Amino acid sequence: MIETRARRRSEVWMKQVLDEHRQLRLMIAELREFLREPRPAPGAKGAHTWSSGLAQWLVKLHDGLFRHFRYEEESGMAEDITLRHPRRSSEIERLIGEHPQMLAEIKMLMTEALDYSEGHLLDDPALRTRLEAVLDTLDAHERAETALVQRAELQEVGVGD
Ligand SMILES: [Fe+2]
């Protein structure tokens, strides 16, 4: 039996985490849209605008993720999921363990995009591909978390395993 305090706490974070996942999906979709635009060659007209636009996107994404990850880590999400599904405990721990790495990769791309916008960095044709790979990882990460949270929600209403 899940005690009332834990039940009430989990109602709060479940709603918040699922809302934030929806917002993140929108942000990622908009960023993917931006990436579909051709990237001007370094020094060409529009190159600075493109890369500073990218840097702004990455600052926004980093900030949003930083807050989101911190909320997930401090809200009791891992503890409550473990309480409901002890067999899922290593999965949620593994997912939370991915947070610092994803933030570090986005931060690195953000710095490169800024350097590139100032014309300090040689063109890296893989910049876009690397960012797409990070977004794919992030998508898979959030999908796996959403699935865990939805399972926990089912447990909440008494129809989970
Ligand atoms: Fe998440």
Most confident region among 43-57, 62-76, 124-138, 146-160 by mean pLDDT: 62-76
Specify the CATH number for the domain of residue 37.
Answer: 1.20.120
pLDDT tens, residue by residue, 57-74:
999 999 999 999 999 999
Range of the domain at 26: 4-156
Does residue 79 belong to any structural domain of this protein?
A: yes
Domain-embedded: residue 63: yes
Cα 85 to ligand 1 centre (Å): 18
CA 22 to centroid of ligand 1, rounded, Å: 10
Which residues, 6 or more positions from 152, have their beta carbon under 8 angstroms from its beta carbon?
10, 14, 80, 81, 84, 85, 160
Ligand 1: centre distance to CA 75 (Å)? 12
Domain count, the chain: 1
User: Is 92 in contact with 78 (CB distance < 8 Å)?
Assistant: yes
Model's pTM, two decimal places?
0.88
